Each structure stands twice: as structure tokens, then as C-alpha cells.
Amino acid sequence: MKYSMNLADNWRFRQTGEGEWLQAKVPGCVHTDLWANNKIADPFYGTNELDIQWIDKADWEYETIFDLTEELFQQKNLEMIFAGLDTYADVYLNGQHILSADNMFCSWKVDIKPYAKKQGNQLLVSFRSPIKEDLPKLEGLGYDLPASNDHSEDGGLGEKRISIFARKAPYHYGWDWGPRFVTSGIWKTVQIIGWTELQITDLFIRQDQLTSQTATLTAEIGVEAEQEWQGKLRLETEGLILEKAVQVQRGNQTIELEFTLENPKLWWCRGLGEPNLYQFKVNFLQAEESLAEKIIRTGLRTIRLVRKEDEVGKSFYFELNGVPVFAKGANHIPNDSFLTNMTYERYRHEIASAAESNMNMLRVWGGGIYEDDRFYELCDEYGIMVWQDFMFACSMYPGDQAFLANVKREAKENVKRLRSHPSLALWCGNNEMDSAWAHYIENIGWGWKQAYSQEIRDKIWADYEEIFHKILPNIVEEYSPEIDYWPSSPMSELTGDERQHSTYTSTSGDMHYWDVWHGSKPLEDYKKVVGRFMSEYGFQSFPELKTVRTYAEETELELASPVMLHHQKNGRGNQLIKEYMEQYYQEPKDFPAFLYMSHILQADAIKTAIEAHRAHKPYCMGTLYWQMNDCWPVASWSSMDYYGRWKALQYAAKNSYRDIVIIVEQINDQLNLKIVSDKLQDIKSSIQLTLYDFSGTELWNYNKDVLVKSNTVTEVDIFEVNKILQESNPNNVALQATLETVNHQLDQKYHYFTKTKDLFLEIPQISIEYPKEDDHTILVSTNTFAKNIWLDAEREGIFSDNYFDLIPGIPKKVTFLARDNGQSALVLENPGILTVQSMADFVKRD
């Protein structure tokens, strides 16, 4: 039998050896503990970030006093487990040094039986400054390593970028959307466990063969025993109980138990089926008494990355249970600069938002963390596949033996921790490092390698290959062979020559496309550059006004104010938003209008990209925009701000990621009409095109019955634009496209024949009919054409649709889903007081 206790109470902290002890929270970190004790101001407010950079130069210590229960103290084996220490730490129990830690991403377990007493145990965790720890490593290396997103200058270090030496979340050192808060602390739980005879250390259900008829499985059970033991092993799951006599040797070992399930319920991603999950429980029994037990929840599925040569290059798509899947989703970053602020409800809101937005994949990007177990459990439940980067991004890393050994330990532990999640779809070595260094082509990449002699270049690249072409793939192959490994994103293929780098070709591998935004190319260029799998691209916006006001005063609400520039970590970000806005929209009347207009701009940009990618199915089989979320309130590429508030982009993604979408594409004087389906069945439908003027008068109409073909693109028709418009003014008309079955609308889109800035937008009178009792439907109507209607609710939550266009005489029904802190992620509710505005309300008028 195993006994345990959590050490979560009665912690205190201080700067090492100095000053008063202050109350601490565990899990937590120094920054949040100082904030809670009113020793620093809100780190997110104004430019406060710059005032607290001293924290990471100091050493800190945490202490607690605890007693052990009689049952726990009497166990023959007594272990202390730190699930996460950030980052360089020494731990002392009753004055005895018991462990040293040097990796934020690892757990640490130590035998405390020789040092523990029943009452009055003193536990001290001493954290060394990651800055002081790693500066000597830079000096010892003799040359800088590239780390372009390390905001060393904000930390008072000048050009000394040392983030690459610490196995710690890279984004803590700053990024082009995030602040520099180099944290220290006990960031995960501290637990003491006691056991006698044996304990289960791991449980993994290996899927040897899986069909819709039979699942052939093997339970791999990690066991640790004090001495030789004989007894019974029992495995239980739905409708199945297996028992086996076993003999366990002293020490650590793995016991395997093979079994089959008939007619297994497969795990499917959102849109293709139910994300079915099984619970497996194993017990070691002595005379029917359980000595050790472990439960795991997992799903049964096959998933593989398909890299198949075709007439233009090589495919890049995921095949789930034998079905090719078009991946629809976004890149995920950590939800907070201070990870211990995260709650289950915040995780659930993000994953529920992804599912509500018709996504089926999130990419856990390599500059953050291997996410909390809750994140993956929610992805399992909601049917969201996970592209999982290892935690390396936009830098080159050292290759000394101590660093490599640390990487191996980290990779092994996290691969084993995450491998049972059916949502896990891919292991990826790093973010953008292959393309940034571009070893095999001299004049491409980010200009990194040109700063070094050939000897140092070769050393840096050899260190890179050791980690990403040897260590990581070998660990994946050993511990998670069901999941494919991809060395770097983006990359064409692992060839060892110039064909390897993603900039060489867009016809193979995955692609990051940033010429729109960083390269200032027009939004229309999203249609011109489409790769096999678009794993990164993005466009910025500000958060909404209520979020901006959490970090800025009224007097600072202007684009170039110090606070606005500080909460914009991309150098030209604010100016780029302004320049793009001037190209496509009328001038906003004030700063709040600018915020709104930035939402529309971002949504239109990413909608253009998504629909271009989907229209190229099956050549292109994935689109993951940058980025889903934020780690603090900021202007960024996110579709959902720090507080979980949906921007216009999140609604645009929801509509553009529907399982069946209409694509209306204008190329010069022609209009191409397509339907993209991710469904696995053909669907009989009808499509209607109607041209309206802005008063709601119907000017032209087209109807056609269409068989929407499964899992592909159906070409519907091609039109001459002048035959649709006839004598109509393109600045005063909207083309509505509606796809329906007998009793269900599959999709509806609006197309315009000119830029939004050229549309004749009068200020509409928008009417709202509020929900009646027991009816949560809100009816929205207008007296003249309304562009990008924004419904703003008193309560926190989301609408079924928002930022939508509306034709007079065609009211729209919407519902409101409130954020709920109880059991449900989003709950159908009354929104409270509603504010309604449209684009015409925000433009500057003479």
C-alpha cells in the first residue's frame, strides 16, 4: 500500500540569507510571491517589467516545517518527489543536502528515509540565480550562440544572451510577444510518498495492432520492489478483467501483460468522430489485498505522419485511424508568464475554445514548456490533436556532455509522461532552428552562421545534429515509437544537403510563411504561397479596450505612448498594423476605434490565409496560425487575449474552420466558387448566390444543387464578375453565398468586389431582441448594411458568432456562452447588458 502527502502549506521565502521571511505559495515562484506580499507592483502594468529585473540576479530560499503521519513514517521506503523546480536548486532536509536540480522540465525524487523524523522536519530549497549561474558558461564557451529572442538588454545584460544554457522555459527570457521574467521557484507540487514491498512506477498501454475489429495491446508496467515478490497482477478495463501470476525481482523492472479488446471504440479528433477514452487499472494483489495500484486513461488510435512522394514533391499530412486529416488549428504558447497562475478553468477555456472554433490540432511550440497534464487530458477529451515540440526554439544550443546528458534526461521523462495521451500526434525537435541556421546553403537563413569561423560553424552544427538528429529521435523511437518524429519546424526533409531546408522548396515538408507581416507583403500574397503544411503564419492585433485598460491609463491610449510601445514586443508591430490598416480600411476615429479596426484587419488576414490553404487540399493538408493565446496582456498575434477574450480572429477561425466551407475566390475578373469538405461522406446540398445592395435589394441570384464530395475540394462554378455586377456599383453591394441541406445551413459567406475601405458604409440602426425567458436566442437586425457587427457582453463569454456582416431584412440569430467556473466550460446563458456597434461607428468622418 502506498501512502502520500502534499507539502503545500506553511511555506515562507526570502532572498537568501537576507531580510524577513515572507509568506509563500507552493506551487509558485519568486515574482508572484513578491507581488502577493506587496514587495513589487503588478508586473504586467505599464512598464513595471523593467523595474523588477533585479529579481533574477538574486538567490532565493524557500522553507517549510512539516510532520509525518504515523502510517507514512512507518513505511520502509520514504521518498520526496519534486514535480518541478525552477531551475538551479539545492534541497536540504533537516540540515542534510539531499539533492541538486538543474532542469525546470524534470521531476526530482530522493530517498529521505535516512533524514526524516516524525515531527518537526525542516525542508529548505535554495535557488541560485539563473543569471549568475549561466554567465560563466558564456565566458567559458568563448563565443556567443544565437538567441535572437532573448531580451538580454531588458535584463541589464547587454548582448550577453544566456538563455540557451538553462534547461528552462525559453520565453521566460523574453520573446517578440512576451516580457522578460526569469523566474525561480517551486513551480510544481512537492509530495512525500511511503511504500512497503513494491510500488508501480509507470503504466503504458502499448498498441501493438489496432483495427476497428480488434485491439492487440500490451500493458507495460514499471515496478520497483524491495525484494523478490510473488503474487497476482490484475488488469481491468471496460468489460475485461485479466489476472496473471507474477514474480517480481528486487529493484526496478518492467512487466508486460498482453491482451486484446474486441470491437474497440477508437479515439477520433474533433469533426471525425468521438474522442473515446478507456480507463485501465492495474493492481498487484497479495491474498486479494491490493499492495500497489495505478490507473491510466488513454485512447486507442493509430496516427502517423504521411510523407509520400507525388508529382510535385512529398506530402506532409496526418493519417488518423487510416483517414487523411486536414489539420486545422493554431500554435499554443504558455498561457501565463507565471505558470503557477494557471488554473484548470483557464486551460479548459482554451481547449473548449479550440473545439468551439472547429479546430482539431494545437501545436505546443518549443519556446515554452512541456505542458501541464491537464492540458493534454483536455485535448484528449475534446478531440484536439497535439503537435508537440521539444523545448528548443530560435536559438543554437551548446553541446558539452553535461548539457547533452541533461537533455537526454529531460526528453526521456517527458516522452514517457506524455506518450499515453491519444491526442499526441507528432514529436518535433525544435522551432525554426534548421531554417534559421540553414547549414547547407550559404546565403539563406537568418544570417547567424556568417558571424562565425568555419571551425566554430562546424562545431555548432555538429552539436545541433547530436541533439536533434540523434538524441531526440532515438528517445522517441525507444519510448514512443507509435508517434513520428520531425527534426525541426519548418523543414523540407532530412537529407543532409541543401534540399533539407524549408526555404529550398515549398513542395515538401512543413512551412512557416511570414512575408505577410514581417515582410510587409499584401494580404493577397497568402493566396500565392501555399505549402504542403502551413505550421506557422500570423498577423497582429491589439487586445480590446477593456484588456488594454488593465495595463494602461487613459492618458496612454495612443499608438506611440511608452506603455503601448512596451506592450508591443515586435519592433515595428504597432507601425505595421497602422500601415496595413491604411491599405485596407478607412481611418479609425480614435484609439478605441483603432483597437477594433486592428481586430478586423487581423481576422481578414488570417481568414484569407486559411481559406487559401483549405482550397489547395489535398496538396496542402494543414493550417496552424500563430498564435492561439497570450502569456500577458499585449498587442500580439493571438486570437484570444490573456484574459481569454475572443478577438475577431477567433470568430473568423471558427467560421473558416467549419467542416464544410464555401470558398469564393476572385482572380481578376473571374469568380471561382468551391466547397471544401473534411467530412467522410458525400453530402447532397444546394448553393445559392445572391447579390444585394446595401439597402437589402436583391440584384442577382444563382442556385445550384451540389454533391459535396467527401474529404476533398468540390469545384462548383466559375463566374464573370461583370455578369454578376451588371450595372451595380461594386462599392455598394455584397454577394451572399449560402450552402444548405434540406433542413440545415452548412455555411454562409460574404464576398465584396472592392477593398473594405472603399465600401459605402452608412451608420446603421442595429436592433437587438433580447432573449425571452427560457430562450437564449438573440435576434440581430439592421436597417442598412452593417459591416463587422461587434456584440460586447456585460458577462465574460463568447457568442455563437460575432464581428459578422448583416444585410437589411435578413436578421441573424446568435447565442451567448458564458464562461463558467463549475463543471462546464461554456454555458448557454443570458449575456446581460449588450453593446452593439459596427465598422461605420468607428471610422473617422469629415
Q: Are 214 and 104 in contact (CB under 8 A)?
A: no
Distance CA 284, CA 6 (A): 24
Distances in whole angstroms, Cα of residue 207 to Cα of each of 217, 258, 299, 529: 5, 10, 10, 39
Question: Mind listing the pLDDT tens digit for each residue in 338-365?
Answer: 999 999 999 999 999 999 999 999 999 9
User: Per the structure block, which three cell numbers stand in for 288?
Assistant: 486479494
Distance CA 190, CA 346 (A): 23
Question: Mind listing the pLDDT tens digit for each residue in 53-74?
Answer: 999 999 999 999 999 999 999 9
Q: Which amino acid, 745? A: Q
What fold is seen in the domain 306-656? TIM Barrel (3.20.20)
Which residue, chain included where needed, has cell 467560421? 655
Indicate whether 407 pLDDT > 70. Answer: yes
Confidence bin at 331 (pLDDT 50/70/90): very high
Indicate whether 822 pLDDT > 70. Answer: no
Residue from 774, 806, 803, 771 nearest 789 by CA: 803
Confidence bin at 820 (pLDDT 50/70/90): confident
Distance CA 583, CA 755 (A): 9
Question: Mind listing the pLDDT tens digit for each residue in 278-300?
Answer: 999 999 999 888 999 999 999 99
Distance CA 752, CA 664 (A): 10
Residue from 604, 561, 606 nearest 581 by CA: 604
Task: Kindly state the DSSP code that residue 671 receives in the 8-state scheme.
Answer: E
Torsion (CA) 130, 135, 138, 141 in degrees, nearest 10: -100
Give the mean pLDDT of 24-33: 98
Which residue, chain included where needed, has cell 473568423? 652
Q: Are 803 and 836 in contact (CB under 8 A)?
A: no
Distance CA 724, CA 380 (A): 47
Q: Are 602 and 594 in contact (CB under 8 A)?
A: no
Helix (H, G, I), strand (E, B) or coil at 815: coil
Q: Which amino acid, 321? A: N
Distances in whole angstroms, Cα of residue 91 to Cα of each of 12, 96, 167, 393, 442: 15, 8, 18, 30, 48
User: Per the structure block, which three cell numbers stand in for 122?
Assistant: 525542516
Distance CA 624, CA 639 (A): 12
Indicate whether 771 pLDDT > 80. Answer: no
- The burial of 275, by beta-carbon neighbours within 10 Å (0-12 exposed, 13-18 middle, 19 or more buried), is given as buried
User: Per the structure block, which three cell numbers stand in for 368?
Assistant: 515554452
Q: Which residues are CB-contacts of 812 (< 8 A; sequence separation ≥ 6)?
A: 779, 780, 781, 801, 804, 806
pLDDT for position 823 = 58
pLDDT for position 542 = 98
Alpha helices in 157-236 (DSSP H): none
Question: Mind listing the pLDDT tens digit for each residue in 518-540?
Answer: 999 999 999 999 999 999 999 99
Question: Mind listing the pLDDT tens digit for each residue in 210-245?
Answer: 999 999 999 999 999 999 999 999 999 998 999 999
Residue from 489, 247, 400, 381 nearest 823 by CA: 381
Confidence bin at 744 (pLDDT 50/70/90): very high
Q: What's 114-149 look like in SS3?
A: CCCCCCCEEEEEEECCHHHHHHHHHHHHCCCCCECC
Per DSSP, what are the bridge partners of residue 215?
210, 261
pLDDT for position 575 = 96
Domain 2-191, CATH 2.60.120.260 — does that match?
Answer: yes
Indicate whether 505 pLDDT > 90. Answer: no
Torsion (CA) 706, 712, 716, 721 in degrees, nearest 10: 140
Confidence bin at 91 (pLDDT 50/70/90): very high
Q: What is the pTM of this model?
A: 0.96
Q: Are 542 and 577 in contact (CB under 8 A)?
A: yes
Residue from 80, 84, 77 nearest 107 by CA: 84
| Higher per-residue confidence, 89 vs 238 | 89
Among 109-118, 491-500, 812-821, the minimum mean pLDDT is found in 812-821
pLDDT for position 775 = 75
Question: Where are the domains positioned within the chain?
Answer: 2-191, 197-298, 306-656
Q: Which amino acid, 2? A: K
Distance CA 524, CA 560 (A): 28
Q: Which residues are CB-contacts of 429 (< 8 A; sequence separation ≥ 6)?
A: 389, 390, 392, 467, 468, 472, 473, 485, 486, 487, 488
Q: How far apart are the first and last CA of the chain?
A: 79
Helix (H, G, I), strand (E, B) or coil at 468: helix
Distance CA 199, CA 511 (A): 46
Task: Kindly state the DSSP code that residue 253 receives in the 8-state scheme.
Answer: E
Helix (H, G, I), strand (E, B) or coil at 392: coil
For the chain, the farthest-separated pair of C-alpha atoms sits apart, in whole angstroms, at: 91
Q: Which CATH superfamily is domain 197-298 in?
A: Immunoglobulins (2.60.40.10)
Distance CA 784, CA 782 (A): 6
Indicate whether 795 pLDDT > 80. Answer: yes
Alpha helices in 276-423 (DSSP H): 344-356, 373-382, 401-418
How many Cα atoms are found within 13 Å in the side-chain-facing hemisphere of 634? 28
User: What strand order describes the sheet that includes 622-625?
Assistant: 484-486, 424-428, 385-389, 361-364, 327-332, 622-625, 534-536, 511-512
Residue from 298, 231, 290, 307 nearest 264 by CA: 298
Residue from 458, 461, 457, 456 nearest 433 by CA: 461
Residue from 188, 195, 47 nearest 562 by CA: 47
